[in-house]
Amino acid sequence: MAAAVSAFILMFSTLWGSRVVSGVLSTPTNVRLTSHNLNLVLRWDPPDRPISDLLYTTEYNTSTQGYQVRCVNISTHECDLTNFKNSIFQYGKYTGRVRTQLGTDSSAWMESNQITLDRDSIIGAPNVSLFSNGATIEVSIKDPVFRISAFRSVYHLATYNITYWKAGQKEKAQSISNTLQNRVVLNDLAPWTKYCVQVQINTGRNPNHSVPSAAVCESTTIEEEAPWVAAVVTFVVMAMAVAVVVVAVVYRKRISHFLCPKDALPQHFKEYLLAPPNSSMYLDMRNSRPPKEVFDPVSIVADGSTLEEGLPLEAAGTSCSKQPDTT
């Protein structure tokens, strides 16, 4: 009889897995609150001996309020508390808890660690871009994006630690620490050389630095001329332009008279040129008619001989008599 009871108990335990004879479900394990870039996610692992169709319900509380229900009857092993409107404050302290449910049965609550969001959140890597300019490289840094606030609204005094090295020589890396500028120029670099850069954020309030950025590489080119040369050339050009403008303003009248001179003829010349002509010769020429051509008619008569009709001139001879040859 005892053996039969023992077999029944063993079979019952095998069928229900983590469920004990008393009817109480086992609790989730490894319950923890996590935060990345100021989000808030409650995570857990299933019971040591999970069973099918097991569901979970979660709650969280703050330092000023009691527990509030969030994710209910979910099958996944996490609950993103950031998704609930007005649930999360960037400076708040939070604790979460979760229990298992199967039908009307539920386990005891299993609590998580406590998180102070702005101090314990893991800050993601910044975004880094490089721009080569001769023998220098400009590093441009963009802060990570938060879901519930802007980065600088929470971490006002955040600085950057910049590490750079020649490609393949990271053991000889150089660094610029705690700079506030998000655009930094790396000088004194070798020309025609590839450099790699990595950036990490120091928030000043969170004890942990951010996740370091991925190493980004860029090559320098030829060494540029000294910056004072360009400055001098720019100054000279601007000075000449200003001088030309000043001269044009001061002597604008003289320049205008030179380019567009006024009529300087004497007054009596003007009166003479503008007066209508009144000379008798001009009036006679203007009123005269074209002169008639005078000519006399001229006729040519032959010396008595006549041309025979129909004969050419050579055959008829000419009107001039030929003198006999006396020689």
pLDDT digits (tens, 9 = 90+) for 181-224: 999 999 989 999 999 999 999 998 888 889 999 999 999 987 55
For 57-94, write each residue's pLDDT tens digit.
999 998 778 899 999 999 999 999 999 877 889 999 99
Strands 93-102 and 78-80, by their bridges, are: unpaired
Based on the domain organization, do 82 and 175 belong to the same domain? no
Q: pTM to 2 decimals?
A: 0.59
Based on the domain organization, do 84 and 19 belong to the same domain? yes
Based on the domain organization, do 248 and 205 belong to the same domain? no
Based on the domain organization, do 96 and 169 belong to the same domain? no
- State the pLDDT at residue 20: 41
Instruction: Give a yes or no: residue 178 inside a domain.
Output: yes
Instruction: Give a yes or no: residue 32 inside a domain.
Output: yes
Of residues 156, 158, 121, 122, the one with CA closest to residue 141: 158
Question: Which of 89, 120, 151 is where one domain is finished?
Answer: 120
**Which whole number is the average pLDDT over 148-162?**
93
Reply yes or no on whether the pLDDT at 249 is more than 90: no
Residue 66's alpha-carbon distances to 5, 35, 95, 265, in angstroms, are 45, 20, 10, 106
- State the pLDDT at residue 102: 92
Of residues 230, 160, 231, 221, the one with CA closest to residue 195: 221
Based on the domain organization, do 163 and 232 belong to the same domain? no
Task: Determine the Cα–Cα distance for residues 113 and 30; give it in Å rounded to an integer.
Answer: 10
Instruction: Give the other-Cβ count within 10 Å of 141's Cβ.
Output: 19
Instruction: Give a yes or no: residue 43 inside a domain.
Output: yes
Instruction: Give a yes or no: residue 325 inside a domain.
Output: no
Instruction: Give a yes or no: residue 314 inside a domain.
Output: no
Total domain count for the chain?
Answer: 3
Please calculate the CA angle 306-308-309 and round it to the nearest 5 degrees: 125
Based on the domain organization, do 72 and 145 belong to the same domain? no
Based on the domain organization, do 88 and 22 belong to the same domain? yes
Based on the domain organization, do 116 and 21 belong to the same domain? yes
The winner for highest mean pLDDT among 13-17, 91-95, 244-248 is 91-95
Based on the domain organization, do 17 and 115 belong to the same domain? yes
- The residue segments making up the domain with residue 104 are 13-120
**Which whole number is the average pLDDT over 35-45?**
95
